[in-house]
Amino acid sequence: MQITDTAAIVTGGASGLGAATAASLAEGGAKVFAFDLADSIEKAPAVEGVEYVAVDVTDGQQVREAVATAAGAGVPLRTVVNCAGIGPSMRILGRKGVHDLDVYAKVVQVNLVGTFTVLTLAAEEMARTEPLEDGARGVIINTASIAAYDGQIGQAAYASSKGGIVGLTLPAARDLAQHGIRVLTIAPGIVETPMLATVSDEFREGLAQGVPFPQRLARPDEYAQLALSLVDHDYLNGEVIRMDGALRMAPR
């Protein structure tokens, strides 16, 4: 699947994994629509080939309108990369009481339902495009986490949402196969993103020491590199790929 002269959607595109992926897709010749919340877009740098669109992925109507904008860009919509997500930490039974039920629902709503909403409405538009010679119309890449497999203490909500994305991968690929749309998932380990910006160097170093090799945190550009390689590899479908340096998370 070539990205030159095509349209691409990246959710969470104003920072972190999404920003790196949006920039890489634009550099490769795609017209990129970076979906994110308005306040995040205000802080994002201008990137040639990337158009920011204010979208709350939990709002189906906003997603539908934004996807229609991308699909109407004059080139076929071929790529979607879902990076939008949140990751608050809370124990099921903690010192302050039980896990906040609204927080749990919000994490699942943003990370899992938001991903499904963008996947579904983007697939609808992709299915309307002219297929390539082999019948291919596009590829959708979702973002899970190794927490889907190795969720730590305090990650009940986050791990649930990311586990849902892992479980979504194969049935979504099977559902969309008739339309020539591939579905894949990347499960990153610990990545140097804005969520880690507030922690100390000592804490960050401690996290890095837990990675077998390379013994460091992953970089957003490495996620972007993997995402673009999945777009390019037409026989990869219905698979979850861990990008974690062989890390298996301890309970805490």
What beta strand segments (E) does the chain contain? 7-11, 31-36, 50-54, 77-82, 93-94, 97-98, 138-143, 181-188, 240-243
Q: CB neighbours (10 Å) of residue 66?
A: 23
Residue % of the chain over a pLDDT of 70: 98
Contacts of residue 30, defined as CB under 8 A and 6 or more positions apart, other chains included, come to: 3, 4, 6, 7, 8, 49, 78, 79
pLDDT at 246: 96
pLDDT at 194: 75
CA distance 58 to 116: 10
50-59 burial code (b ≥16 CB/10 A, e <16): bbbbebbbee
- Calculate ∠ Cα 240-246-247, nearest 5°: 100
User: Could you give phi then psi for residue 14, rounded to 5 degrees?
Assistant: -90, -10
What is the rounded (10 degree) CA torsion for 88, 90, 95, 96? 60
5-30 burial code (b ≥16 CB/10 A, e <16): ebbbbbbbbbbbbbbbbbbbbbbbeb
- Which is the catalytic residue, given 149, 158, 223, 235? 158
Name the pairing type of β-strands 240-243 and 31-36: unpaired
pLDDT at 193: 83
* pLDDT tens profile 106-131: 999 999 999 999 999 999 999 999 99
Q: CB neighbours (10 Å) of residue 129?
A: 19
* pLDDT tens profile 67-76: 999 999 999 9
Query: Quick check: is 52 catalytic?
Result: no
CA distance 232 to 1: 5
pLDDT at 198: 61
* pLDDT tens profile 16-44: 999 999 999 999 999 999 999 999 999 99
Q: Is the model's pLDDT at 199 over the cut of 70?
A: no
* pLDDT tens profile 137-152: 999 999 999 999 999 9
CATH numbers and ranges of domains, the chain? 7-243 (3.40.50.720)
* pLDDT tens profile 143-187: 999 999 999 999 999 999 999 999 999 999 999 999 999 999 999
pLDDT at 188: 97
